Structure 1
Amino acid sequence: MRRSLSAKILLLTIAFVLLGEVLLYVPSIARFRHDFLAERIAAAHLATLNLSPSLRLDLDMDTVDQLLSHAGVIYVAVYGRDEAMMLGEIAPYQRLVDLNDQSWSTMILGAFGTLVHRGTRFIRVIGPSPQEAGTTVDIIMPEAALWVAMIEYSGRVLGLSIALSLIVAAMLFLSLQRLIVEPLKRLEQEIAAFRDRPEDSTADGEPSSRDDEIGVVEQALAEMRRSLRQALAEKTRLAALGAAMSRISHDLKNILTPAVLISDRLESSADPQVRKVAPRLIETLERAARLCAETLSYAKSGPPAPQPQRVRLLHLIENVRRDLGGKETGPVTWTIEVPDDLDLLVDPDQFFRLLYNLAQNAIEAMGENGGELRFTAKPSPEIFTLEIADTGPGIPTKIKEHLFEPFAGSTKPDGNGLGLAICRELVRAHGGDIELLETSERGTIFHLRLPARLALRAGGPRRPSMPLETVARVLLPFVLLLLASCGVKGPGVAGYPGLQFPVQSYYDAHATEQNWTCNQPRMQAITGAQVVDETPGRVVMNIRYYWYDEQNTIEEDNVPFAMPALQRCNGWSERTFTFVKRTDGSLAVESMTGPQRR
């Protein structure tokens, strides 16, 4: 969690959306409680509208209880302009709610008070009647039904909040992943690659065309890489030049000393042997000039940045063999173990120069006795290796330690030690490296390593335009959403898949009951089903189920004393359902008959 920016963004998004839902929930639950109480005021007034003054005196206790039970109260008093009327008896209550004076603070505190007391109180509610202007209704009711309704409302709000949080978080997560996280990861990888191999320009990514902060960072990173790589190359060359200056000065002194002595002898003597020493003087001076020229050339400029192209490795080696044919000083056998369909994504000129230097050094080391020069390609998923081996006498021990250092690793009497240093510089510019694997009297083996991405099979693509794992990560949520919306049918009934949800929905929409106190029937679960008749067009089933009433189901443990006005509404029952067969073999509910709920 501490290392993943994506996880932090996802969790923060969910937390902030849930916080917003909580801030919306507080006033909404207060409004829900106010509306619920206003509905009870209206129901209580409605129960008394058709009662004349003479009829009220003749009402028995059972009739009064039924009227009050229908309204969901235990006491009601109506105060109009001309008269007042009461039903039931005033009972002790623990809370007075006046709907005429309800500020937001009072409504919110009242709502949370109801939730805290868990429906164990009786409350007195006073409010205006919606049926008659100027009429005030005064009721006493148990708070249990209100608490149950508020708990169910809170559950629906919670479910909606969680679903909304997940949807918003998923969409925001995918957007931020594409716009911010993935570019930052790419920048991180490029910075890490530059840190590990500053010379490797092939790992540099091209800056995008974005104009926002990410685009500015990409442009700045590209400019920084170019500047640092150039400065690093210049400092490396200057350091190598400085280390070599003392050695060059010493060599020049040793080379020019005989020339000076001979020059003095030529000037002071008219000896006829002057013609014999003149060539030696010229050769010595030429060697000094050549050494100075190569040193200055190395210090002044290096190879340009590689321009990668797709080249056939076998053809490149054959061209090196052709150009070195006239320089072989003995019988050299070339063995090329390279697939004829292997391509490299390299700079052709620089890589030719690299292979040319290595092959030339191997041929000169084998000398007049000749031997075998072998090129072996060893591809792998991680790295591509080209092995260059010869059967020469090997490299002296004192030279191996400084083999790739400028002016220090030459095996030739008149060499300057720049050949292998330039080879390493060229291969590192391609993101690889070169090392001396083995050297002995049996021969010498060099390993030239390149990133595996630079080794390609003929006709194969350079790289996929978009990684498959990225495509899968982006499309997977949409595929799952599509499958969920199209493929989930729900539980089956009597062998017909996906039938339980339509049966429950039809029952909830069409059930009518004789027991008017349970006016919101819900089919909780289907406990059994039996097909009693089936024709090519219809199916008739007896379906057993468990039902309950959301509004009037109350936990008895939370009620302090008996309340005859309210009762538990739940149980088991059975009905006969008739279904119509569709063309695809599925069933649709046509009608519902059978016994009422028990």
Structure 2
Amino acid sequence: MRTEADVESEGDDAQDDERRRRTSSRWWRSRAQSVVDDAIGETASSSGEDERRQQLADVGHELKSPLSIMLALCTRLEEAGRLAPEDADDVARIRANAYTMLRRVQDLMLVSRLESVELQLEAAVVDVAAIVRTCAEGFSSIAAQRDLDLRIGVPARLPAVADEEKIVSVVSNLLANAIRHAPNGGVVRCSLSTAPGRLILQVADDGPGVPADQRHVIFKRYRRDPGSGGTGLGLAIVSEIAQLHGGAVAIGDAPEGGALFTVELPLRTQRAGSPRPGPQRSLMLADRQTAIIEELRADLESGTGAGLRPLPHRG
């Protein structure tokens, strides 16, 4: 027989169960709302990053057009042969500074693209040996001006899956870096070889080298000496492009006595799907390397960075 105390006890238990149910419900609602808020925050952050990258790309494109016009006009004035010596010097300075600005714009646009998953890698089967050889030969006039022994060692042909534009950036940035820091009359070496499953690019010089305790920061973005030129993006771009290809870049001591940069990429000779056509991109590739070369030429002629290796911020 149930007593009055039993009934009261059951009522208390029911109330306790109801309180626990409500507490549990509030906790789950709170957790669910937290998850939703986090998701919204991440989406907003991602959207903000996408907008920032798009704005940077838009500004880059807007700056490239007037810079290209300035360079074309400078070339036309120089080729006309009607300038007085002092005017020719001014036009040459305008041209050099326009190329420097173009290099900055190109670097920032490339960094923006490297941050976007959709635009990161445009791989196709390309002749990497031809790309490296052409890039290295593009620096021959500057090497000759500084009496550098520019040694190019690449196979006759080496087809591999790679992003042609980004390989041009890697080779050009490393060669410009080596030439900038090699002494007059020194040596710069660019070589391409293979190992089982790997493609190996090396760029070496006989300059001061990079101390071992500084090498861990040399590939970080915007790391440069306050007194040096540039944006501090060159070597960071090299590292990020190597990683995009599934490879890496390392720095060590060159047999020539200076710095040795070694880029290792997976060696793949086939790509899923139809190959991406390349000839339409050749002008853009040439323009990109030209900006790097002309900026380097202007720096060396003005004495900025010639024979120096600002540490720990090469690039």
Q: TM-score, normalised by structure 2?
A: 0.47
Higher relative contact order (CA 8 A, sep 6+): 2
- Between Structure 1 and Structure 2, the one with more strand by share is 1
- Between Structure 1 and Structure 2, the one with more helix by share is 2
Could you say which structure has the larger radius of gyration? 1
